[in-house]
A and B are shown apart, each in its own frame.
Chain A
Amino acid sequence: MWNIIASHLPSWEVLFQALIVVAVPYLLSRMMSKTQYADHPPSKEESMEVTSQRDFTGKLNHDLEQVKNEFGQQADINIRSFCLGHSTQQAALLFVNGISDRELIDQHILKSLMCDLAYGDNHQAENVTYPITKQYLKDHVLAVGVIKEVDRVADVKTELLRGHAALMLDNSTSKVIILGTRKEITRSAGEPSSEILVRGPRMGFNESICDNTTLLRQHGEKADLTIVQIRVGERVEKELAIAYIKDVADEDLVQEVRNRIENITLDDIQDTGYIEQLIEDNFLSPFPQIQSTERLDRVVSALMEGRVAILLDGTPFVLTVPTTFNMLLQSPEDYYERWIPGTLVRILRYFAAFVSTFGPSLYISFISFHQGLIPTKLALSIADTRSGVPFPSLIEVLIMEVALEILREAGLRLPKPIGQTIGIVGGLVIGEAAVQAGIVSPLMVIVVAVTAISSFAIPQYNAGIALRILRFIAMFFAAIFGLYGVVLFFLLLCSHMAKLNSFGVPYISPAVPYRLQDWKDFIVRAPLKLMKRRPKMMKTNNPIRKE
């Protein structure tokens, strides 16, 4: 009896391994305990409002001095002093060279202040009382669409730097009139080169938030489109807009988006990419959890599904949240073409995603571990071609994969004609030469090529990158454990995706949880006649798309 128990007592080795079992994940999780999106404390108190203090006195010389002091030695501030109409009342128009619309200032503002005012004097002298008040100017003279009044030097400065002009009057109230003369350098809304479709609208966003919201408005005029403006950036303030459709989008979702954006405290936000990284749920995940797109139609259809769009001034990329993995494999074209090709193309994309992630790892596991599982003839011919290869399959795959990634990275930044040359040189010459030299086997080149092509078939560039990263991890799993390693990696990947949320929506929806309603727009793109409801996973207020 005692002997039986003794023979079963775990050895020191086992105990040590047991220790490792618990220690490694414990340490890892300690290190990563801060990865989850922590709900920040409610945004800090608004910076103290200085309301009572007035910087301006209504005396022109004093006020100008104030502004000059504020600007210091900067040369590009332009101060144009003049007299209103025929009177001797002094006035000054301030603007920053270059970013203000000179034509508007010269033709409309200065002209109306100097000439038209004088002309009006003769006819309606009884209406004009000197000194001329700001109210009179605003009511009768200034033919400018956007006007506001500010009374602090700092505000004047920001407005001037944004391209607006400031008008100051002598002998007047302590406020300064700001005239909307901002000049925007934009380009036309062409088709974005990163997301090209064969069929569908050729409209893309550009760098101006004004144009972008206009585009959205034009396409959603009847749809109760709500656009909320927020200013982000501590040092360089930028316009940011949250767009959603009021009676469709979930209010909690909108609020959550707002909260997360308001919690951003970065001094300069260059691109929506910054916002994406600052508001995503899990920054350790390889997957993009927020979709970014330049295409107008993509954003509009996202809004119609009850999602929320985030636009930033200065970038054509618009974010849409929540995002699921499925969305990254969809293309707007799926809906423009008839449903049968749409469905087939989608199935193809899922297959491509699988191949681009698991292709090389399956190759490694079959070549290095389970030769018995491939047909004998094939195994023999593989062995034949591999006989001269001096490396284990992992090294072989790594050589080709890394070379290919470098090639891709190099081709990305080159002008188009050279990029193609690089492709030919790299792909054909190096591949062929590597086989000839006996570094890699021909089958390997095929596997790598198919994998690469598959990863191009994924419509969203950043989703493709995610799968490329995962491919390398999968290769190492396969090199250690063979097919078992691939299965483990698949389970790990599934576990990760099962845990991942994007703004409260499971990342793997609509696959899971099962909602037959949402599966009409999953791997199969059902005929439009059947797609009567908005996706349930978005918890929309208004589930019916059409009767």
Chain B
Amino acid sequence: MKFNNQESLTTQQTVMIITNFILGIGILTLPRAAAEKVKTPDIWLSIIIGGLIAMLAGVVIVKLSQQFPKKTFYEYSQDILGKWLGCLLNLIVVGYFVAMSSVMLRAMAEVNILFLLEGTPRWAMIIAFMWVGFYLVIGGLSAITRLFQLIFPITVIIFFMIAGMSLKVFDINHLRPVLGLGLGPVLKGVQSTALSFGGFEIMLFLVAFMRDPKKANKAVLFGIGIPVIIYVTTALMVIGALSVDGVISLTWPTITLIKSIEFPGIFFERYESLLLVIWMMEIFTTFVITHYTAAMGFAQSFKKELRPFLYFLMPVIYIVALLPVDINELFALSNGVGNAGLVLFVFLPIVLLGIAKLRGGRT
């Protein structure tokens, strides 16, 4: 019996990782972020288009990774770009993951302070969260995968339960007219919705661990498809209940929506606690995987053990998480990270794939 830690990932485990990674802050903020740009009720179309773009980028990434079997991005970037340039790129990617993980932490703390724990200091919440995350991360990728699989059904069940409840305040008229101002506004929103799909880039690393890398395409399509469904549902129920104008003025529209639903008679009167619970779980998964991937970047670039870098990154992530002074700066940072991701993982892979093909053709 193999008692080693690292098992290879099945396709469906890969799907779980991608899905859990993508689902994060988006559930709470996506409707507003998109509504600000689109300004018509057609947000859900923007989300679908954003999802399609993400899928396309995901497929490119898979193609790239399949060129280098059993190697993660951190390893083959040096094959493609040479040692120093590859190393530099790796560091940038690591920086991206560190920033993303910090954003998750900080967003979690902000939402908590706003809705659950008013007087509790941020540092206490963030530190406790990081320790729990660290406990999981030192278990390696297989423990992370198992946790993701464990949490995912809980999330989905509770999410759709809440979505079902919001039907009570749902008004189809808020979603009309469809394409009232044409496709223009929809496309304007695509950029901000595409940001919410940040997370598919994990395929740069996962393909190397997959038992059957040929099915990576399928994994990435499903892995993005599930969040598309959840995001579209979120957008429909939020816009349907609060209307576009209502959504724009709210920081966390989804929570506001759930707060407004009342089901007297059942044990709870308000259900935002349930939503916050699953949302925190999703933030946890995103935080854990970004922390792990960032540490893996260091470990593989320098060909060292993983564990010291896991330790090293903890204070870094913590400090970055506390950098933004207020919530607007947090959103700015989040946007910056998203845009960086767009460049790093949508355009760059195409370039790299081109170079790899050229080089591969030559040798």
Residues of chain A touching chain B, judged by Cβ–Cβ distance below 8 Å, are: 7-8, 10, 13-15, 17-22, 24-26, 29, 39, 250, 252-253, 255-256, 369-370, 372-376, 480-485, 487-488, 491-492, 494-499, 501, 503-504, 506, 508, 511-514, 539
Residues of chain B touching chain A, judged by Cβ–Cβ distance below 8 Å, are: 1-3, 10, 12-13, 112, 116-117, 120, 123-125, 127-132, 134-136, 138-139, 143-147, 149-151, 264, 267-270, 272-273, 276-277, 280-281, 284, 311-312, 314-316, 318-319, 322-323, 325
Contact (Cβ within 8 A) A25 B135: yes
Q: Which residue of B lies closest to A509 (CB)?
A: B146
Contact (Cβ within 8 A) B138 A10: no
Contact (Cβ within 8 A) B116 A17: no
Contact (Cβ within 8 A) A370 B146: no
Contact (Cβ within 8 A) A374 B130: no
Cα distance, A22 to B322, chains bound together (Å): 16
Contact (Cβ within 8 A) B1 A252: yes
Contact (Cβ within 8 A) A491 B284: yes
Specify the main secondary structure of chain A where it touches its partner: helix
Contacting residue for A487 out of B134, B135, B277, CB 8 A: B277
Cα distance, A374 to B271, chains bound together (Å): 10
**Contact (A26, B311) CB under 8 Å given A39-B3, A372-B270:** yes
Contact (Cβ within 8 A) A375 B139: no
Contact (Cβ within 8 A) A373 B120: no
Nearest-Cβ distance from residue A392 to partner chain B, whole angstroms: 15
Nearest-Cβ distance from residue A138 to partner chain B, whole angstroms: 45
Contact (Cβ within 8 A) A488 B128: yes
**Contact (A18, B315) CB under 8 Å given A494-B150, A512-B146:** yes
**Contact (A374, B318) CB under 8 Å given A484-B117, A499-B139:** no
Nearest-Cβ distance from residue B336 to partner chain A, whole angstroms: 14
Contacting residue for B1 out of A24, A250, A508, CB 8 A: A250
**Contact (A495, B135) CB under 8 Å given A375-B267, A481-B128, A484-B112:** yes
Contact (Cβ within 8 A) B269 A496: no
Extra pairs beyond A256-B1, A495-B135 (11, CB < 8 Å): A8-B323, A14-B319, A14-B322, A21-B127, A250-B1, A373-B273, A492-B132, A495-B147, A497-B150, A498-B147, A511-B149
Q: Which residue of B lies closest to A14 (CB)?
A: B322
Note all chain B residues with C-beta closer than 8 A to A496.
135
Interface centre among B1, B130, B149 (most CB of A within 10 A): B1
Contacting residue for A21 out of B116, B267, B318, B323, CB 8 A: B318
Contact (Cβ within 8 A) B139 A22: no
Cα distance, A491 to B288, chains bound together (Å): 11
Nearest-Cβ distance from residue B146 to partner chain A, whole angstroms: 4
Contacting residue for B135 out of A492, A508, A514, CB 8 A: A492
Note all chain A residues with C-beta closer than 8 A to B12.
513-514
Specify the main secondary structure of chain B where it touches its partner: helix
Cβ contacts A to B, 28 pairs, < 8 Å: A7-B325, A14-B318, A17-B318, A18-B318, A19-B315, A20-B127, A22-B314, A22-B315, A29-B138, A253-B1, A373-B270, A374-B267, A481-B125, A481-B128, A482-B116, A483-B277, A487-B277, A491-B132, A491-B136, A491-B281, A492-B135, A496-B135, A497-B150, A498-B139, A498-B146, A508-B150, A512-B149, A513-B13
- Which 7 pairs show the lowest CB-CB distances between chains A and B? A18-B315, A252-B1, A495-B136, A499-B139, A498-B146, A512-B149, A375-B269
Nearest-Cβ distance from residue B217 to partner chain A, whole angstroms: 20
Note all chain A residues with C-beta closer than 8 A to B112.
484
Contact (Cβ within 8 A) A483 B1: no
Note all chain A residues with C-beta closer than 8 A to B145.
513
Contact (Cβ within 8 A) B319 A10: yes
**Contact (A514, B149) CB under 8 Å given A374-B268, A375-B268, A504-B3:** yes
Contact (Cβ within 8 A) A499 B143: yes
Q: Which residue of A lies closest to B120 (CB)?
A: A481
Contacting residue for A495 out of B127, B139, B319, CB 8 A: B139
Contact (Cβ within 8 A) A499 B1: no
Nearest-Cβ distance from residue A481 to partner chain B, whole angstroms: 7
Contact (Cβ within 8 A) B125 A495: no
Note all chain A residues with C-beta closer than 8 A to B151.
491, 494
Note all chain A residues with C-beta closer than 8 A to B131.
21, 24-25
Cα distance, A491 to B127, chains bound together (Å): 14
Contacting residue for B273 out of A255, A370, A506, A508, CB 8 A: A370
Cα distance, A253 to B314, chains bound together (Å): 38
Nearest-Cβ distance from residue B269 to partner chain A, whole angstroms: 4
Cα distance, A485 to B13, chains bound together (Å): 28
Contact (Cβ within 8 A) B273 A513: no
Nearest-Cβ distance from residue B279 to partner chain A, whole angstroms: 10
Q: Which residue of B lies closest to A15 (CB)?
A: B319
Note all chain B residues with C-beta closer than 8 A to A250.
1
Note all chain B residues with C-beta closer than 8 A to A375.
264, 267-269
**Contact (A484, B125) CB under 8 Å given A10-B319, A513-B13, A513-B149:** yes
Contact (Cβ within 8 A) A513 B268: no
Note all chain B residues with C-beta closer than 8 A to A499.
136, 139, 143
Note all chain A residues with C-beta closer than 8 A to B149.
511-514
**Contact (A17, B128) CB under 8 Å given A483-B273, A514-B149:** no
Interface centre among B2, B10, B136, B281 (most CB of A within 10 A): B136
Note all chain B residues with C-beta closer than 8 A to A369.
116-117
Q: Which residue of B lies closest to A19 (CB)?
A: B315
Nearest-Cβ distance from residue B27 to partner chain A, whole angstroms: 15
Nearest-Cβ distance from residue B17 to partner chain A, whole angstroms: 12
Cα distance, A487 to B273, chains bound together (Å): 11
Cα distance, A514 to B14, chains bound together (Å): 12
Contact (Cβ within 8 A) A506 B146: yes
Note all chain A residues with C-beta closer than 8 A to B136.
491, 495, 498-499
Nearest-Cβ distance from residue A514 to partner chain B, whole angstroms: 6
Interface centre among A22, A24, A504 (most CB of B within 10 A): A22
Cα distance, A26 to B130, chains bound together (Å): 13
Contacting residue for B314 out of A25, A373, A511, CB 8 A: A25
Q: Which residue of A lies closest to B277 (CB)?
A: A487
Q: Which residue of B lies closest to A254 (CB)?
A: B1
Cα distance, A250 to B3, chains bound together (Å): 14
Cα distance, A486 to B307, chains bound together (Å): 28
Contact (Cβ within 8 A) B319 A18: yes
Note all chain B residues with C-beta closer than 8 A to A481.
117, 120, 124-125, 128
Nearest-Cβ distance from residue B16 to partner chain A, whole angstroms: 8
Nearest-Cβ distance from residue A147 to partner chain B, whole angstroms: 40
Note all chain B residues with C-beta closer than 8 A to A511.
149-150
Contact (Cβ within 8 A) B125 A373: no
Q: Which residue of B lies closest to A375 (CB)?
A: B269
Nearest-Cβ distance from residue A490 to partner chain B, whole angstroms: 8
Cα distance, A24 to B132, chains bound together (Å): 12
Nearest-Cβ distance from residue A3 to partner chain B, whole angstroms: 12
